[in-house]
Amino acid sequence: MNHLNTPNQSSHAAMALALFAALLFGLNAPLSKLLLPIITPLYMVAFLYLGAGIGMLLLYVLSNKDKTEAALSRHDLPWVVTMVVLDVIAPFLLMLGLTLTTAANAALLFNFEMVATAVIALVFFHEAVGKRMWLSLGIITLASIFVCVDFADAATWQISPGSLLVLAACACWGLENNCTRNLSAKSPMEIVIVKGLGSGTTALAIALLSTTPFPQSALAIVATALLGFIAYGLSIFFYVKAQRHLGAARTSAYYAAAPFMGVLLSLLILKDVPSWTFAAAAAIMLCGVWLAIQENHAHHHRHQPLTHDHAHAHEDQHHLHRHNPPVTASHSHEHTHETCNHEHQHTPDIHHRHHH
């Protein structure tokens, strides 16, 4: 039996990728808020995703189609279609929400995506959620409710419809994250290209068929596409690479840095003045996110035989097959894992989706 008591290097790298993806996505709410007076929500969604898809496609071509990653196949089609549909609905709800609430509120509520992702991962895909994570999810939900309530004075309050739309968007993204989970072994760049071009084209077709006026500012269209490339394209690319090693729930936990980045940018760029309820909710949410990141998971577990195709190297305890001649760099091919018993700290990555 092999004992590994510390996270491996790939897990640390995945954590860094998830945090970087979060920083890039943090640009979304404040910069989208600036563009919404010029571009209507549906066209905004279209150009955000088209910018992500086209930008990543250019990188894909320039990188000579990275051969170390496994390509998407027809067996992935149901997950791809669901992912594209949700990626049209979620940002559209977000853009509608941004027209009714502040960018800072919307950015902070992005933390609810972690709650939706984790609950769906638990219910439908049986990812393990520990006591610390449950406490974290409860705290974040409580803080989200706080953000959704507008207090005019001590005796008067009302629910913010804009905040509710943002929560609905987060729920859609939580479901979409779990669809992406089932594709995380495949090429992250291909996934982003499909998400971007598929969702962008679908949203653009709907917008053109509707009575929504086409944007008149070419500069605003280019700015929206560039924002999409950074906040959706590059961010999703790094998110998928992180999810391969961390699983859906835990990648979402590290990705929770994005709302706080978005809040900071909203306060600096848009001069949003936070209310006392917002400040309290932000403090509560920070505690909830900290609890989620601190969760550790280790136990003796058994790996059943598994055959799959994904990018890997032979520097861990799960890829022990041989090559002749030996291969040391990252590479991709179909390979089989034999039965294995060991104990180490792990996350619900593509090799650790056992039941608890």
3-state helix/strand/coil string of 269-329: HCCCCCCHHHHHHHHHHHHHHHHHHHCCCEEEEEECCEEEEEEECCCCCCCCCCCCCCCCC
In this structure, of 84-88, 120-124, 144-148, the range with the lowest mean pLDDT score is 120-124
103, 219, 222, 227, 245 from 51: Cα distances, Å: 21, 13, 8, 7, 27
R_g of the chain computed on alpha carbons: 21
Does residue 41 or residue 6 have the better pLDDT? 41
Q: Among 107, 40, 57, which residue's Cα sits nearest to residue 234?
A: 57
pLDDT tens-digit series, residues 320-355 = 666 666 666 565 666 676 676 655 454 555 554 545
Q: pLDDT tens digit string along 54-81?
A: 999 998 888 766 566 777 888 888 889 9
Q: Which residue has the tokens 């910069």?
A: 31
The domain locations on the chain are 8-300
3-state helix, strand, coil in the chain (%, to 5): 65, 10, 25
Residue 106 pLDDT level (bands cut at 50, 70, 90) = very high
Token output for 37: 């007076």
Strands 2-4 and 331-337: unpaired
Supply the pLDDT for residue 317. 61
**CA within 13 Å, CB half, 229:** 13
Mean pLDDT of the chain: 80
**This prediction's pTM:** 0.73
Tell me 74's DSSP state.
G
**Integer Cα distance of 163 and 147 in angstroms:** 7
- Scored b (16 or more CB within 10 A) or e, 44-56 reads bbbbbbbbbbbbb
- 215 CB-near residues (< 8 Å, 6+ apart): 38, 39, 40, 43, 221
What local confidence, expressed as pLDDT, does residue 333 receive? 62
Q: pLDDT per residue over 220-244, tens digit each? A: 999 999 999 999 889 888 887 787 6
pLDDT at 354: 47
Angle between helices 235-254 and 161-181 in degrees, nearest 10? 100
- Confidence category of residue 13, pLDDT binned at 50, 70, 90: confident
| C-beta of residue 215 within 8 angstroms of C-beta of residue 97 | no
